[in-house]
């Protein structure tokens, strides 16, 4: 443990190559002295030399870095190396005296080594290109030197090892050369500075003083600029860090205060995070469900929660700006006809059966459109209620659209970001899934469940990936399934159409049977009950991944439900048309009556007007309220159906299966009825269509949104309970896609579809003459014009007039279309680029894996080359190939070391022979391999040595 790692690598390398050429060891050991002398003699000149030299010096740290890189990887060999380490200690002892100088250089270099691989490589390549001869030469020499230098350092490090171990502080002490200083000040981290003892304080204080002194006299030192700068920065940082802690009086107090505040702040931040998490509503419930039923079921509940949030905002808008002002400031109930229950309805107006159908007092309340008065301003604040009503109606749609689209965009962003870690999916799950902070057995159970679920999800995904079967059969089946489903859809569509057609003929009949009255509903209910399971059965043919299958299922059911919607809207529009016609006659009648009143009132006294009670006043059918009523009734019945079906279909069934199982002839739990699975597609679609109803109905029934809030709230608790209590997880638990974007897109579609009829009615139908905030106007949107006219200065009206000019609107639309086209094209490009990159990464990884798996088969050519070339060549080649090949990076130290050794030998020859490497490197750097041969004869026996690196390989 206590051995310095930096040394171990070198030893590691040494031991590896030593096995091959033992005879060289002694030479090596002696070499360094000469080498160092050489180097030392060069030093002064170097300092005064030009840029090139300084850049050469830069390469040294880099090389060192390369050689030192493997410590982490070589960790396993630590113990063995230590022994070797020992054996070489005595040899390096003699050099201990000269350590100090090298040590400082190492220090400096260590900074440089922070830089990452690529930049190193770049730098190195550049340098070799720039000055091939010199740097190559130098590289070799450096290699020789470095080895020896490291041996030097080793000695010192052993003395300092205790300090070193402590990281930062130890390092600092190295610098001070306070060897053997007991490392009592173990505070490696700034966070524990306050636990220093007196003695340590004194010591640190001393250091601070020294650093300060150093800074002061820095100018006079004969160091190179780079080193000066580094030193200066280092000292300054140190002084700044410790001065406060050690200063007397104010400084110290301030420092203590600062430390305390930091700690408080950190604690506060953590608490706040916890608080934030606990503030997310139902988070715990959903997590629990997720752990047992998988993320797909949880995604439904998350969607539900999200919808609840949106509805809360809509509720706030509607009630805050429309309902409450009307209740508080508008005319009281019973003052005018529209706010009064008609005489003939009054006896039954409080009956529960009537209220249940939203008749009676419910119908003539602020929950529905008809109750609102067309008075332009109400109350003391002169609140523009009709305007506010209109704006809230439109604003709800605007807000919903904005939120849905924004959420979709954000989800898309997120899903783009975290698509990378598919590489070690199972390993991660295996090694890191347990949360070691769990101490509660119940939580632990949940965690077990969630780990199991996540593994199951991965298995399903994995199965999908590895599925390879007869592609033609598969295609055929898919086409067949789609055809069948299309037939089903077409059939049910025709059925709906037929039933609707038929029901219109019933309108002429006077007497209707119960069946005839409810034919549409019955047909729709039957379709909704039997077609989805049919779809599911057919979809089994396709054999999609369940996640994709769910999407298809949702689309198909969506199409089916659209039929439902279609019939409903059709019936509604019929009703509205009838009521509009009805209204005409009533209007005429009322006008005639009013006229007669006017006549009488002008003739006689004005006292005759109040004789008519508002309840007796003739009134039109008020189709807006009728529409709102329909939507409200539908929503309520939908809620009831959903809840009852959960109660019966899930709960009663579960109870039955659970308890009758004891006395039944077959296994109910695993046999036929079994427990239900949570029906994601049905529930999601139910939710989405319900939301569509709300969007459509809110304009004509402001109270609807309140009902929906209650519905979502109760259904959250109710369904959570039902799921945990009576459902079993699906047989194929699958992972929901990271974002709920699919649900969102369905929701967006529904939102659009529900926007259409509302806008259509607003734009085309004339509002009722005697009810609602827009009564008396030709069209509802006239309220805007009225406001512009009365409340705004004249020029704004003009501006609106210009803006509404088709000449402006058309170019605007054109511009938008163009912008959309452009943005779409850009995003497509990015998408492809992204895909490309992902593919590239994947390929790189696979390549790496392959190389490891069948090293022997993949690069026989490389090996041949290695055999042919002398060790120098290997050294350089591997350096050059570093960036492309990680494997080489790992084995490189061995290689370089081999080269070092080889060159150490050269060094000896060099004394006799002219400096050979220089001739080698005067050649252009490009054809490196080809430039090798000249070196070959000189490198002595080429046979064994080039093999040096080779034995190192299999070991890893």
Partner 1 sequence: MGSYSSHVSKIEDLQGIIQETGFSKAHVCRLYDRFEGLDQNKAGQLSREDFQRIGELAVNPLGDRIINAFFPDGNQTLDFRSFIRILACFRPVTVDKSAGPNSPEPINSRSNKLRFAFQLYDQDRDGKISRDELFQVLRMMLEAQVTDDQLDSITDRTIQEADLDGDGAISFEEFRKSLENVNLEHKMSIRFLQ
Q: Which residues, 356 to 415, sit near partner 1 by CB under 8 A?
A: none
Q: Which of 170, 628, 773, 952 forms a contact with partner 1 (CB under 8 A)?
A: 170
Q: What is the largest distance, in Å, between two alpha-carbon atoms of the chain?
A: 142
Q: Is 427 in the site for partner 1 (CB under 8 A)?
A: yes
Q: Which stretch binds partner 1 (CB under 8 A): 47-55, 101-109, 407-415, 675-683?
A: 101-109
Interface of this chain with partner 1, residues 541 to 560, rule: CB under 8 A: none
Q: Is 846 in the site for partner 1 (CB under 8 A)?
A: no
**Least distance to partner 1, CB of residue 951, Å:** 17
**Least distance to partner 1, CB of residue 446, Å:** 11
Number of residues located near partner 1, criterion CB under 8 A: 85
Q: Which stretch binds partner 1 (CB under 8 A): 4-12, 278-286, 482-490, 692-700?
A: 4-12
Q: Which stretch binds partner 1 (CB under 8 A): 185-193, 300-308, 754-762, 934-942?
A: 185-193
**20-28: long-range contacts, CB 8 A cutoff, minimum separation 24:** 20/944, 20/945, 20/947, 20/948, 20/951, 21/901, 21/944, 21/945, 21/948, 24/901, 24/904, 24/905, 27/904, 27/905, 27/908, 28/147, 28/901, 28/904
Q: Is 3 in the site for partner 1 (CB under 8 A)?
A: yes
Interface of this chain with partner 1, residues 754 to 813, rule: CB under 8 A: none
Residue bearing tokens 């009630």: 319
Q: Is 4 in the site for partner 1 (CB under 8 A)?
A: yes
Question: Which lies closer to partner 1 via its Cβ, residue 34 or residue 228?
Answer: 228
Q: Is 417 in the site for partner 1 (CB under 8 A)?
A: no
Lookup: tokens for 557? 């059911």
**Least distance to partner 1, CB of residue 236, Å:** 13
Question: Which lies closer to partner 1 via its Cβ, residue 2 or residue 48?
Answer: 2
| Cβ–Cβ < 8 Å for 867, 944 | no
Q: Which of 192, 827, 832, 842 forms a contact with partner 1 (CB under 8 A)?
A: 192
Q: How far apart are CA 522 and CA 723, in angstroms?
A: 28
Q: Which stretch binds partner 1 (CB under 8 A): 108-116, 326-334, 350-358, 872-880?
A: 108-116
Interface of this chain with partner 1, residues 54 to 73, rule: CB under 8 A: 65, 68, 71-73
Interface of this chain with partner 1, residues 109 to 148, rule: CB under 8 A: 109-111, 113-114
Question: Which lies closer to partner 1 via its Cβ, residue 3 or residue 928?
Answer: 3
Q: Is 182 in the site for partner 1 (CB under 8 A)?
A: yes
Interface of this chain with partner 1, residues 847 to 866, rule: CB under 8 A: 848-849, 852-853
Interface of this chain with partner 1, residues 193 to 232, rule: CB under 8 A: 194-195, 197
Mapped onto helix, strand or coil, the DSSP state of residue 676 is strand
Lookup: tokens for 553? 């299922």
Question: Which lies closer to partner 1 via its Cβ, residue 436 or residue 515?
Answer: 436
Question: Which lies closer to partner 1 via its Cβ, residue 110 or residue 916?
Answer: 110
**Least distance to partner 1, CB of residue 184, Å:** 6
Q: How far apart are CA 81 and CA 84, in angstroms?
A: 5
Q: How far apart are CA 934 and CA 620, in angstroms?
A: 109
Lookup: tokens for 690? 């319900």
Question: Which lies closer to partner 1 via its Cβ, residue 464 or residue 909?
Answer: 464
Q: How far apart are CA 273 and CA 253, in angstroms?
A: 30
Lookup: tokens for 450? 């969630």
**Least distance to partner 1, CB of residue 144, Å:** 20
**Least distance to partner 1, CB of residue 181, Å:** 11
Q: Is 425 in the site for partner 1 (CB under 8 A)?
A: yes
Q: Is 104 in the site for partner 1 (CB under 8 A)?
A: no
126: left (phi over 0), alpha (psi -120 to 50) or beta: alpha
Q: Which of 41, 42, 89, 167 forms a contact with partner 1 (CB under 8 A)?
A: 167
Using alpha carbons, select from 623, 500, 471 the residue that is nearest to residue 566: 500
Q: How far apart are CA 657 and CA 671, in angstroms?
A: 10
Question: Which lies closer to partner 1 via its Cβ, residue 444 or residue 763?
Answer: 444
**Least distance to partner 1, CB of residue 932, Å:** 30
What lies within 8 Å, CB to CB, of 201 at 6+ separation is 246
Question: Which lies closer to partner 1 via its Cβ, residue 204 or residue 362?
Answer: 204
Q: Which of 30, 46, 166, 923 forms a contact with partner 1 (CB under 8 A)?
A: 166
Interface of this chain with partner 1, residues 431 to 470, rule: CB under 8 A: 431-434, 436-441, 443-444, 448-449, 451-452, 455-456, 458-459, 462
Question: Which lies closer to partner 1 via its Cβ, residue 426 or residue 656?
Answer: 426
Question: Which lies closer to partner 1 via its Cβ, residue 71 or residue 881?
Answer: 71
Question: Which lies closer to partner 1 via its Cβ, residue 158 or residue 567?
Answer: 158
Question: Which lies closer to partner 1 via its Cβ, residue 266 or residue 814?
Answer: 266
**Phi, psi for 66 (deg, rounded to 5):** -60, -40
**Least distance to partner 1, CB of residue 288, Å:** 15
Lookup: tokens for 806? 């088709």
Identify the burial level of 81 via C-beta atoms within 10 angstroms of its C-beta, where 0-12 means exposed, 13-18 middle and 19 or more buried: buried
Q: Is 184 in the site for partner 1 (CB under 8 A)?
A: yes
Alpha helices in 418-440 (DSSP H): 425-432
Lookup: tokens for 423? 């590489």
Interface of this chain with partner 1, residues 71 to 90, rule: CB under 8 A: 71-73, 75-76
**Least distance to partner 1, CB of residue 84, Å:** 16
**Least distance to partner 1, CB of residue 157, Å:** 6
Q: Draw the binding track, 642-671, toward partner 1 (x: CB under 8 A; -: no contact).
A: ------------------------------
Q: Is 180 in the site for partner 1 (CB under 8 A)?
A: no
Q: How far apart are CA 66 and CA 61, in angstroms?
A: 9
Q: Which of 46, 162, 779, 923 forms a contact with partner 1 (CB under 8 A)?
A: 162
Mapped onto helix, strand or coil, the DSSP state of residue 326 is helix
Q: How far apart are CA 76 and CA 87, in angstroms?
A: 19
Q: How far apart are CA 30 and CA 37, in angstroms?
A: 12
Q: Is 419 in the site for partner 1 (CB under 8 A)?
A: no
Interface of this chain with partner 1, residues 280 to 339, rule: CB under 8 A: none
| Cβ–Cβ < 8 Å for 579, 626 | yes
Q: Is 159 in the site for partner 1 (CB under 8 A)?
A: no
Q: How far apart are CA 490 and CA 499, in angstroms?
A: 14
Interface of this chain with partner 1, residues 702 to 761, rule: CB under 8 A: none
Q: What is the DSSP letter of 765?
A: S
Lookup: tokens for 251? 């400084």
Q: Is 956 in the site for partner 1 (CB under 8 A)?
A: yes
Using alpha carbons, select from 360, 335, 338, 336 the residue that is nearest to residue 350: 360
**Least distance to partner 1, CB of residue 314, Å:** 41
**Least distance to partner 1, CB of residue 60, Å:** 14
DSSP conformation letters of 921-951: HTS-SS-HHHHSTTHHHHTS-TTTGGGSHHH
Q: Considering Cα of 274, then 278, then 279, then 281, what sign does the dihedral take?
A: positive
Using alpha carbons, select from 1, 4, 2 the residue that is nearest to residue 152: 4
| Cβ–Cβ < 8 Å for 92, 156 | no
DSSP conformation letters of 249-315: THHHHHHHHHHHHHHHHHHHHHHHHHHHHHHSTTHHHHHHHHHHH-HHHHHHHHHHHHHHHHHHHHH
**Least distance to partner 1, CB of residue 681, Å:** 24
Interface of this chain with partner 1, residues 231 to 270, rule: CB under 8 A: 234, 262-263, 266-267
Question: Which lies closer to partner 1 via its Cβ, residue 98 or residue 382?
Answer: 98
Q: What angle do CA 681, 685, 691 make, to 5 degrees?
A: 155
Mapped onto helix, strand or coil, the DSSP state of residue 728 is strand
């Amino acid at each position: 443990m206590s051995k310095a790692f930096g040394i171990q690598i070198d030893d590691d390398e040494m031991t590896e190559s030593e096995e091959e050429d033992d005879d060289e060891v002694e030479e090596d050991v002696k070499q360094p002295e000469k080498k160092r002398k050489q180097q030392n003699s060069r030093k002064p000149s170097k300092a005064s030399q030009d840029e090139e030299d300084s850049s050469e010096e830069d390469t040294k740290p880099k090389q060192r870095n390369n050689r030192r890189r493997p410590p982490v990887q070589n960790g396993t060999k630590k113990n063995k190396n230590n022994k070797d380490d020992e054996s070489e200690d005595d040899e390096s002892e003699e050099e201990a005296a000269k350590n100090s100088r090298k040590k400082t250089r190492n220090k400096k270099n260590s900074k440089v080594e922070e830089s990452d691989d690529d930049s190193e490589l770049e730098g190195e390549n550049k340098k070799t290109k720039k000055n091939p001869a010199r740097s190559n030469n130098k590289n070799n020499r450096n290699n020789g030197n470095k080895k020896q230098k490291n041996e030097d350092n080793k000695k010192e490090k052993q003395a300092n090892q205790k300090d070193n171990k402590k990281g930062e502080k130890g390092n600092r002490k190295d610098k001070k050369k306070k060897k053997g200083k007991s490392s009592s000040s173990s505070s490696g981290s700034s966070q524990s500075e306050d636990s220093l003892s007196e003695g340590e304080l004194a010591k640190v204080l001393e250091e601070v003083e020294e650093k300060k002194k150093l800074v002061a006299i820095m100018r006079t030192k004969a160091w190179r600029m780079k080193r000066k700068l580094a030193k200066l920065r280092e000292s300054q940082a140190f002084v700044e860090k410790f001065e406060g802690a050690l200063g007397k009086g104010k400084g110290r107090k301030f420092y203590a205060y600062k430390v305390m505040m930091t700690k408080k702040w950190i604690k506060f931040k953590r608490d706040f995070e916890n608080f934030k998490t606990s503030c997310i509503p139902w988070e715990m419930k959903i997590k629990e469900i997720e752990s047992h039923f998988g993320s797909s079921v949880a995604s439904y509940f998350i969607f539900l929660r999200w919808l609840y949030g949106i509805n809360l905002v809509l509720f706030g808008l509607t009630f805050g700006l429309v309902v409450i002002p009307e209740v508080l400031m508008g005319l009281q109930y019973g003052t005018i006809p529209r706010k009064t229950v008609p005489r003939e309805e009054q006896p039954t107006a409080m009956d529960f059966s009537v209220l249940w159908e939203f008749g009676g007092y419910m119908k003539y309340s602020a929950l529905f459109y008809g109750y609102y008065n067309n008075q332009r301003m109400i109350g003391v604040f002169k609140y523009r209620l009709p305007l506010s009503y209109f704006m809230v109606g439109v604003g709800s749609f605007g807000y919903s659209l904005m939120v849905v689209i924004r959420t979709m965009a954000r989800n898309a962003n997120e899903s783009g970001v975290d698509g990378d870690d598919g590489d070690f999916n199972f390993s991660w799950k295996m090694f890191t899934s347990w949360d070691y902070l769990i101490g509660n057995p119940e939580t632990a159970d949940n965690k077990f469940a969630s780990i199991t679920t996540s593994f199951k999800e991965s298995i399903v995904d994995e199965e999908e990936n590895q599925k390879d079967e007869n592609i033609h059969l598969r295609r055929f089946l898919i086409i067949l399934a789609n055809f069948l489903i299309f037939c089903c859809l077409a059939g049910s569509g025709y059925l709906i159409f037929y039933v609707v057609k038929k029901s219109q003929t019933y309108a002429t009949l006077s007497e209707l049977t119960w069946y005839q009255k409810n034919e549409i509903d019955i047909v729709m209910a039957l379709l909704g009950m039997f077609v989805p399971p049919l779809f599911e059965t057919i979809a089994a043919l396709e054999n999609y991944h369940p996640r994709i299958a769910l999407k298809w299922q949702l689309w198909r059911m969506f199409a089916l439900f659209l039929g439902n919607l279609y019939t409903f809207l059709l019936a509604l529009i019929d009703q509205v048309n009838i009521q509009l016609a009805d209204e005409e006659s009533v209007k005429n009648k009322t006008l005639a009556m009013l006229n007669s009143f006017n006549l009488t009132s002008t003739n006689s006294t004005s006292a005759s007007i109040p004789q008519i009670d508002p309840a007796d006043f003739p009134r039109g059918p008020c189709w807006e309220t009728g529409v709102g009523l329909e939507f409200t009734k539908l929503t309520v019945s939908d809620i009831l159906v959903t809840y009852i079906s959960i109660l019966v279909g899930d709960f009663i069934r579960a109870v039955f299966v659970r308890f009758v199982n004891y006395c039944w002839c077959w296994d109910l739990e695993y046999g036929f009825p079994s427990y239900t699975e949570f029906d994601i597609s049905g529930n999601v679609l139910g939710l989405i269509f319900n939301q569509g109803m709300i969007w459509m109905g809110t304009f004509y029934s402001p109270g609807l949104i309140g009902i929906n809030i209650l519905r979502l709230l109760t259904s959250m608790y109710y369904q959570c309970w039902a799921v945990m209590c009576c459902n079993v997880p699906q047989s194929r638990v699958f992972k929901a896609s990271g974002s709920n974007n699919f649900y969102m897109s369905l929701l967006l579609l529904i939102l659009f579809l529900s926007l259409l009829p509302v806008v259509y009615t607003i734009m085309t139908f004339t509002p009722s003459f005697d009810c609602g905030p827009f009564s008396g106007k030709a069209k509802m949107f006239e309220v805007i014009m009225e406001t512009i006219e009365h409340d705004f200065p004249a020029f704004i009206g003009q501006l609106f007039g210009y803006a509404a000019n088709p000449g402006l609107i058309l170019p605007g639309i054109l511009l938008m279309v163009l912008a959309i086209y452009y943005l779409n094209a850009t995003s497509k490009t990015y998408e492809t680029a992204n895909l490309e990159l992902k593919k590239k990464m994947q390929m790189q990884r696979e390549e790496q894996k392959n190389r490891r798996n069948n090293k022997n088969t993949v690069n026989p050519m490389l090996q041949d080359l290695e055999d042919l070339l002398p060790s120098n060549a290997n050294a350089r080649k591997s350096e050059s190939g570093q960036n492309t090949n990680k494997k080489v990076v790992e084995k490189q130290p061995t290689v370089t070391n081999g080269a070092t050794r080889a060159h150490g030998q050269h060094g000896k020859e060099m004394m006799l022979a002219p400096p050979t490497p220089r001739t080698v490197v005067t050649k252009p750097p490009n054809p490196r391999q080809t430039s090798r041969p000249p070196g070959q004869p000189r490198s002595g026996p080429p046979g064994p040595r080039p093999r040096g690196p080779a034995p190192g390989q299999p070991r890893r």
